[in-house]
Amino acid sequence: MAQAQPRVRVVFIAGTGRSGSTLLARLLGQADGVFTAGELRYLWRRGIVEGRLCGCHASVCACPVWSGVLDRLPAGLEEAARLDAELRRVIRGRRLPLLLLDAARRRSRRSSGEAQRELSALLTALADETGARWIVDSSKLPAYGQLLTTLPDVDVVVVHLVRDARAAAFSWQRWRELPDDAPQRWMQRQSAAKSASLWLFWNALAELLWRRRPDLAYLRLRYEDLIADPQAAVDAVLARCGEPAVGLPLTSDGRILLPLTHAVAGNPDRLGAGAIRFATDAEWQHSMRRRQRWLVSALTFPLLRHHGYALRHRRDHPRHSREHQHVRFRPRNRSLRLHARPRDPVPPS
Ligand SMILES: [Zn+2]
């Protein structure tokens, strides 16, 4: 008798951009049997159509892991653009009213046809190729996550990662160079108003969609708590997955050593390796314009309070002037930075 196909298990990191999902995914990847896949919703477009780099610094098609995964897929590379378009069409189609209806029903009953088959095949191939018990997908987008939770052969644990909306908005305004052979030179930036609006809707949706669903596990984690005690945060996620705790590789000066991953898309920090110092990210408290700070606070109240963030902060920690991830980024290929396109806008100094 043929053996039943094992179910694929996914840790889906939900939330909004600039919330630390790349860092959390890399930390989880330290556990045995856990594979950090990056933002899987971008595999086709960024990884294959645009030819961007994997976290291991090889192009996705040349990466030993992803090339093996792609070989297992029936569609093949030629189909990448069409599959990306189909996935985006389905995600776009899941607009707010329909997602809220799903939340009311506590599950989605809509079939998404080819997009479901495409995602199922990808996750199965990824689990087979890596042998991982859990795949960490840090795609964050609620509509994509809802699609993920409708796959019949996939178990999902949702980790809802929340960061202070003011810190996220401040991070969205930074100029950060993309080192992964992207067609554009700089990471996307958002205005404070747009960042706050996305923060409000995506975080509200994540709770509405998954917090009370009986058929999947949901864990809410604050980025600030992750930074304060990464070991406890990682252990909590692994416990929710039924996996044993893992000792994070600490250095003698309290930093955590992280190796390269095969994360396929996400924050440029996924291309870094080395020691990460975890420190309070307080730069926004003294460098963010007062008007923007209050705009974000006003737009995201009362969800800010719901997640335990104070509306007012004293500007008393100027020495914490860097963001959390002090990754020593050493590209193997020194030409990485030379691929930047000169037509892009020059950031303010
Ligand atoms: Zn790779």
Q: Which fold has domain 8-331?
A: Rossmann fold (3.40.50)
Q: Write out pLDDT tens, residues 88-105.
A: 888 876 666 676 676 666
**What Cα–Cα distance (Å) separates residue 244 from each residue in 225, 236, 321?**
20, 10, 36
Cα of 58 from ligand 1 centre, angstroms: 6
Where in the chain are the domains? 8-331
Instruction: Enumerate residues with CB within 5 Å of ligand 1 (an ion).
Output: 54, 56, 63, 262
Residue 118 corresponds to which tokens in the numbers above? 């495409």
The predicted pLDDT at position 37 comes to 96
Cα of 265 from ligand 1 centre, angstroms: 11
pTM: 0.83
The predicted pLDDT at position 327 comes to 37
Give the span between the Cα atoms of 59 and 202, in whole angstroms: 31
Cα of 61 from ligand 1 centre, angstroms: 9
Cα of 266 from ligand 1 centre, angstroms: 13
The predicted pLDDT at position 348 comes to 43
In this prediction, the residues of the chain whose per-residue pLDDT falls under 50 are 1, 316-349
Give the span between the Cα atoms of 37 and 54, in whole angstroms: 10
The predicted pLDDT at position 4 comes to 59
| Enclosing H/E stretch for 48 | none
The predicted pLDDT at position 341 comes to 34
Cα of 70 from ligand 1 centre, angstroms: 12
The predicted pLDDT at position 241 comes to 94
Cα of 293 from ligand 1 centre, angstroms: 38
